[in-house]
């Protein structure tokens, strides 16, 4: 089980500069990758996105690529002058403010040692290191969430068992109340036992939750197997099973007609809501 939340970072010192890549991920129904890079090359951004999607599968992912080129303390004045003149001419043409010399100098010094043709090859190993760190963190968080799920699953199983116990006593309780109400109306008249049995049988059939409880137990068994599996991608199946559990609990609630059973339904819904919140962050 993997969490969709995580962070990974990798730094490499190269002959021509220092490269650092940071990757952060949060939950999302699909895989959405955004890249912020010091390399002004859209093709590199696309290759970074493709590499991330291949490993991450689901989540909203932000990749930050920082590059500090190595260089001498002296600025390439000829290159700086040429760049300034070109940008100044463009600014005059567009009636825009002239470029700031200090900003332009920082930009030229930063990128003078980059080779745009080989940038992706240079950052590929660094990117893989950051992705591995991200996956490691997602795996650790996933294990912690699995432990939480197991505790919540245990609570829900106990509630389900208590529902069965509460259900068993409802028909007898209804029969006693029915006899009391009818007796108070009929006073000294005797109650037809056949009519009483028929009424109780109709009521028992109407409030029967045995099928719902059986399906709920089945879903809980599948959840337990899912927690025990070593599959990384189980979020969608987990959400589906929790949805089905919620469906059965709602049906039980509609048939409750009993304070004790109604309270158990409320407790079950509370546990399911906690599980759904956790499941939203599972890969």
What residues make up the domain containing 39?
6-138
User: Count of residues for the chain?
Assistant: 283
Q: Which of 50-54, 95-99, 141-145, 237-241 has the lowest mean pLDDT?
A: 95-99
- Single residue among 98, 123, 138 that ends a domain in this structure: 138
121 in the same domain as 151: no
Considering the domain architecture, whether residues 96 and 192 belong to the same structural domain is answered as no
Flag whether pLDDT at 7 surpasses 90.
yes
Domain co-membership, 134 together with 177: no
What is the mean predicted confidence (pLDDT) over 165-174? 70
Helix (H) or strand (E) holding 17: strand 17-26
**Inside any domain, residue 218:** yes
- Judged against a pLDDT cut of 70, whether residue 24 lies above it is answered with yes
CA distance 200 to 195: 9
164 & 235 share domain: yes
Residues 10 and 25 in one domain: yes
193: exposed, middle or buried (C-beta count within 10 Å: 0-12, 13-18, 19+)? exposed
Determine, yes or no, domain membership for 39.
Answer: yes
Same domain, 127 and 160: no
- The answer on 159 and 99 residing in a single domain is no
pLDDT tens figures, 67-94: 887 754 555 677 778 888 888 888 888 8
Which of 138, 154, 171 is at the close of a domain?
138
Residue 216 confidence class, pLDDT cut points 50, 70, 90 = very high
With 0.85 as the threshold, say if the pTM is over it: no
Give domain status of residue 195, yes or no: yes
1, part of any domain: no
Question: Does residue 261 share a domain with residue 154?
Answer: yes
Q: Which of 85, 112, 138 is the last residue of a domain?
A: 138
| Pair (223, 117) in one structural domain | no
pLDDT at 33: 95
- Cα-atom radius of gyration of the chain, to the nearest Å? 33
Which helix (H) or strand (E) segment is 51 a member of? helix 42-56
| Domain identity same for 34 and 111 | yes
145 and 274 belong to one structural domain: yes
**How many structural domains does the chain have?**
2
Model confidence at 177: pLDDT above 90: no
Domain shared by 208 and 124, yes or no: no
Confidence (pLDDT) at 113? 45
């Amino acid at each position: 089980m993997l969490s969709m939340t995580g962070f990974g970072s990798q730094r490499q010192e190269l002959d021509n500069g220092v490269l650092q890549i940071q990757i952060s991920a949060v939950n999302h129904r699909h895989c959405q990758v955004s890249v912020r890079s010091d390399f002004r090359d859209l093709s590199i951004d696309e290759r970074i996105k493709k590499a991330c999607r291949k490993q991450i599968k689901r989540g909203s992912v932000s990749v930050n690529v920082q590059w500090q080129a190595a260089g001498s303390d002296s600025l390439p004045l000829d290159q700086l002058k040429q760049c300034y003149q070109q940008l100044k001419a463009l600014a005059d043409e567009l009636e825009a403010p002239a470029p700031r010399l200090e900003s332009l100098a920082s930009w030229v010094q930063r990128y003078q040692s980059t080779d745009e043709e080989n940038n992706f090859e240079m950052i590929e190993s660094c990117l893989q290191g950051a992705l591995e760190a991200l996956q490691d963190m997602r795996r650790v968080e996933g294990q912690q969430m699995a432990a939480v799920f197991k505790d919540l699953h245990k609570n829900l199983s106990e509630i389900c068992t208590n529902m069965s116990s509460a259900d068993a006593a409802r028909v007898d309780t209804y029969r006693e109340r029915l006899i009391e109400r009818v007796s108070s109306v009929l006073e000294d008249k005797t109650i037809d036992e056949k009519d009483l049995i028929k009424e109780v049988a109709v009521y028992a059939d109407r409030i029967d939750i045995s099928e719902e409880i059986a399906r709920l137990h089945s879903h809980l068994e599948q959840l337990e197997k899912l927690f025990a599996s070593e599959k990384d991608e189980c979020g969608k199946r987990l959400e589906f099973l929790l949805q089905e559990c919620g469906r059965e609990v709602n049906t039980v609630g509609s048939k409750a007609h009993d304070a004790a059973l109604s309270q158990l339904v409320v407790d079950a819904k509370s546990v399911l809501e906690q599980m759904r919140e956790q499941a939203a962050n599972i890969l």
